[in-house]
Amino acid sequence: MQYELINIKTLHTEKEGQLSYFEANRSISFDIKRIYYITQVPAGARRGAHAHKKLVQLLFCPYGNVTVILKNGMDEEHVVLDQPSKGLILHPGLWRDILWNIDNSVLCVAVSDYYDENDYIRDYDDYLSYTKGRGN
Ligand code: T46
């Protein structure tokens, strides 16, 4: 599957909490053109249900716990984001569903391009045709 788990550099102190950071073209291999974050989601809710044709994304959860369910048309894998230091890079062409395991978990995403609805595949049957067309 076209994803990478990365360790986001995290500096911990006993008294003052911790700070995490990453740098475009250093810790991650792409330029960041957009950042968005998802908040106020109740536990049990699901978002996502789409794939991207070209977009590369780094997902991280600085607060809470979400499960990212990934499909490539053949296999399914689950990645739990439950630490500020865990980063998940999704390369294009993966179907993703995201399940909120804890109320108000914050999902942050740094991505390689501006918002473009034409980059989305939001229908699973269309996605399967797309992956077959690409020879996945
Ligand atoms: C993804 C997962 C992890 C914008 O207008 N600009 C934006 O930058 C984004 C991300 C969304 N939108 C609009 C499009 C929809 O009308 O916000 C609305 C909700 O977006 P969507 O239903 O795609 O939200 P999620 O949580 O299902 O998916 C989002 C990202 O869209 C997607 O790229 O991988 O988070």
pLDDT by residue for the chain (136 residues), tens only, comes to: 899 999 999 999 999 999 999 999 988 999 999 999 999 999 999 999 999 999 999 999 999 999 999 999 999 999 999 999 999 999 999 999 999 999 999 999 999 999 999 999 999 999 999 999 876 5
Token pair of 51 as six digits = 């794939």
Catalytic residue ranges: 50
pTM of this structure: 0.96
For ligand 1, the distance from its centroid to the CA atom of residue 92, given in whole angstroms, is: 15
Residue 126 Cα distances to 33, 76, 103, angstroms: 27, 17, 32
- 28 secondary structure, DSSP code: B
Where residue 104 falls (left for φ over 0; alpha for ψ -120 to 50; beta otherwise) is left
Residue nearest to atom 14 of ligand 1 (CA): 117
- List, chain by chain if needed, residues with CB within 6 Å of any ligand 1 atom: 34, 36, 38, 47-48, 57, 96, 98, 109, 115
Cα of 128 vs centre of ligand 1, distance in Å, is 21
- d(CA 59, CA 112) in angstroms, rounded, equals 12
Residue with tokens 């957009």: 34
